[in-house]
Amino acid sequence: MEPDKLCRRCQKLDLNPLFSQEPSHGEVVPLVFVGQYVSRACALCRLFEIYCAGDGMGSGTLISASWRYASNYGWKEPDDGFDFRILGILPEVSSYSRDEAAFHRALFRLRGYIGEPVTSPPSWTDGTIGPRSLDPRAIDYPLLRAWLNYCNQKHCRKTDCQPLKVDNQWHFRLIDCKTRLVVEAASLGTRCPPFLALSYVWGKAIQPRQLDYTQPLQDLPLTIEDSLTVTDKLGFRYLWVDQYCIRQHDEGDKHSQIRLMAEIYGSAQATIVAAVGSDPTYGLPGVSKTRRSAQPHVKLRSGYLTWSYGSTKDDISSSAWSTRGWTYQEGVLSSRRLVFTDKQVYFQCGLSSFSEALNIPFDRVGSASNDDMFPRFRTAPYSLEIGDRIYEYTHRKLGNEDDILNAFQGILGQFSKLKPPIHNIWGIPVLCSPKNWTRSPKGFLAGLCWSLGEPPDGEPPARRHGFPSWSWAGWKGVAILHPHNDAVRPDSLMENDIYVAFESLDRTRTEWSELGPYLQTGARSDQSQLRVLALDCHAFLFENQVFDVIGLKMMGIENTGIDMGDLSSDIDRVVVSADPPGLIHSLDKAMRWTDHKFRQQLLVGIPIKLQATWEEMPRFFVLVMQQKSDSDLYERVGHFEWSDPRKLFDFETFSRSVATRRMVLRIV
């Protein structure tokens, strides 16, 4: 094959060291400054331009580097790594010179590198690291099977990777890829055969239809058809797809299947993730009709150069799949994932990850790296994670807002299996053991201390009707659980000062000591009796008060993103934060709550002290409740949080300075 045409500049580049010389560890040789492309007809210029365009670099210095890949950590420099020679383009920045090695590693991890492609031997167990040439028309199924086999063999005793055993009591269905019939899993024998699951975006183009389960499926969207093909090519016969395996017009069946989501995805041998397209008509690139993006490459006289692509994080995180609420738990709860993007296939189990465009011999593979797309969560979550999972989940959007808890049910269910379990009340985690129900609701009070950020679509936070205002599920926005771990000890004004109970809308009351039966699931229908939160507590009224921290003249205020006017002198003593403007009165105009548009309605503050074991700084929340018109009910409309780095302003001082009184608040 004749080499590609090059411009004069690229013809002068000496790339022989890339192909002939032995790597010398840590060597970085500048070759030439790469600005805007020189010639559209030059294959190497086009390759450099595509490489730079990914991060908007535009230009930089082309380098020849010898780098070391360490099996356990990715782009590092420990002694157990091995060297290989690459090309990369360093952007024109001044800060990287302070730690060039770290900057190079980050760049190669993010952008990939340009190098000579390698061909893996059939065993996949030896060879060299390097970019792999991909066929835009066809998936490398032997490689995908090798990934699955590697995990089965090397991680056979690792609970992070191995699929759950299917319980005969689980009633779910599978698509038979050979007959196209939807069959009951229980009808396939005493042991359910191995199967794959699919995670994809429904979109607006597809509406569920009434199926005749006695007839083979026909006229399937391309993504579903391609997934059946992948399942067969990987040696499996059965595939689980929610749209067809759940009877969409049977509310009882939908409810029971939603409660099984963690088990279904956890027991699948792998989940096919369609991180492409906005609906199921797009297909899986490289399987049938949908082609993958052509991999940038160039043929030189001295060899062949290919771009390794680098991290798949941007490709996956920018997909429609990564913005949908239902797909979040599908990715997190799966034992293994085969993620299809427009460029390549990415694989991640509980301990390792692979990309189709990068050859990593299996005898040099270590544990999962920082580039993993999915957390190690499926079998061993710990209590610290619940705030992280809620934060990540609430960045996503739902087609039906009523699904806010349904689409998170599998995640909540995993936390309920911990020892001690973390149950939830309308999504609010209860951070204490069930043995402590009758003693103290402190764990639940800690869970109430969440704040709200703006939704990812840029719209201002808004109420999600049908859900309690005291739960993050009752608001459209990013939820941040501040005391989201079991080391936080929430205290009120005094020991046992806040008493917690719940009521239904018809005023049927449930005391804290009676909660046990309701905490086995977070499903909305199962907790309707807990719709109204009844707090017997000390609270204060904002009415007729100029709120300069109630007589303390703020003792110097540090504003964290809210306009404080002239009150921000002598900072560093008390730190104040609040929910986004629009929910509650912003802290301007000397914080005169009487100027608020809701002046006609009563505003009440409920202080809750938070003291973490690792943090001695006094910190507490003030939950702001607003009385509903012509009602004895209240809604949460925001919060304030105070902390005092100098420890001059403690909770007791605040409680003495605020005109609190005992109140019973019914909050919806």
What's the whole-number average pLDDT of the chain? 77
Please state the φ and ψ torsions of residue 613, each to the nearest 5 degrees.
-65, -30
**Whole-angstrom distance, CA of residue 387 vs CA of residue 573:** 28
First and final CA of the chain: distance in angstroms? 73
Examine the pLDDT at 313 and tell me if it is beyond 80. Answer: yes
pLDDT computed for residue 574 by the predictor: 44
pLDDT computed for residue 78 by the predictor: 40
> Side-chain half-sphere of 612: how many Cα atoms within 13 Å?
12
Lowest mean pLDDT among 90-104, 288-302, 527-541, 601-615: 90-104
DSSP annotation string for 294-359? PPPEEE-SS-EEEE----SHHHHHTSGGGGBHHHHHHHHH-SSEEEE-SS-EEEE-SS-EEETTEE
- Within 8 A by CB and 6+ apart from 322, the residues are 275, 316, 396
pLDDT range class, residue 282, cuts 50, 70, 90: very high
- High-pLDDT (> 90) share of the chain, %: 31
Q: Of 377 and 544, which is predicted with more confidence? A: 377
Examine the pLDDT at 559 and tell me if it is beyond 70. Answer: no
Chain centre to alpha carbon of residue 38: 41
- High-pLDDT (> 70) share of the chain, %: 70
pLDDT tens, residue by residue, 322-354: 999 999 999 999 999 999 999 999 999 988 888
pLDDT range class, residue 120, cuts 50, 70, 90: low
Q: In terms of C-beta density within 10 A (0-12 exposed, 13-18 middle, 19 or more buried), how is residue 596 classed?
A: middle
**Whole-angstrom distance, CA of residue 530 vs CA of residue 380:** 29
Lowest mean pLDDT among 396-400, 486-490, 550-554: 550-554
**Whole-angstrom distance, CA of residue 257 vs CA of residue 521:** 14
Biggest CA pair distance of the chain: 87
Examine the pLDDT at 380 and tell me if it is beyond 70. Answer: no
Examine the pLDDT at 503 and tell me if it is beyond 80. Answer: yes
State mean pLDDT over 29-40: 73
Q: Highest mean pLDDT: which of 76-80, 159-163, 296-300, 374-378? A: 296-300
State mean pLDDT over 603-611: 78
pLDDT computed for residue 601 by the predictor: 62
Lowest mean pLDDT among 169-173, 393-397, 583-587: 583-587
- Bridge partners (DSSP) listed for residue 314: none
Q: Highest mean pLDDT: which of 416-420, 542-546, 582-586, 607-611? A: 416-420
Task: Write down the pTM of the prediction.
Answer: 0.85
Structure tokens at 248: 């969409």
pLDDT computed for residue 425 by the predictor: 93
Examine the pLDDT at 115 and tell me if it is beyond 60. Answer: yes
pLDDT computed for residue 569 by the predictor: 37
Instruction: Fill in the amino acid letter for 467.
Output: F
Lowest mean pLDDT among 11-15, 44-48, 472-476, 603-607: 11-15
pLDDT range class, residue 244, cuts 50, 70, 90: very high
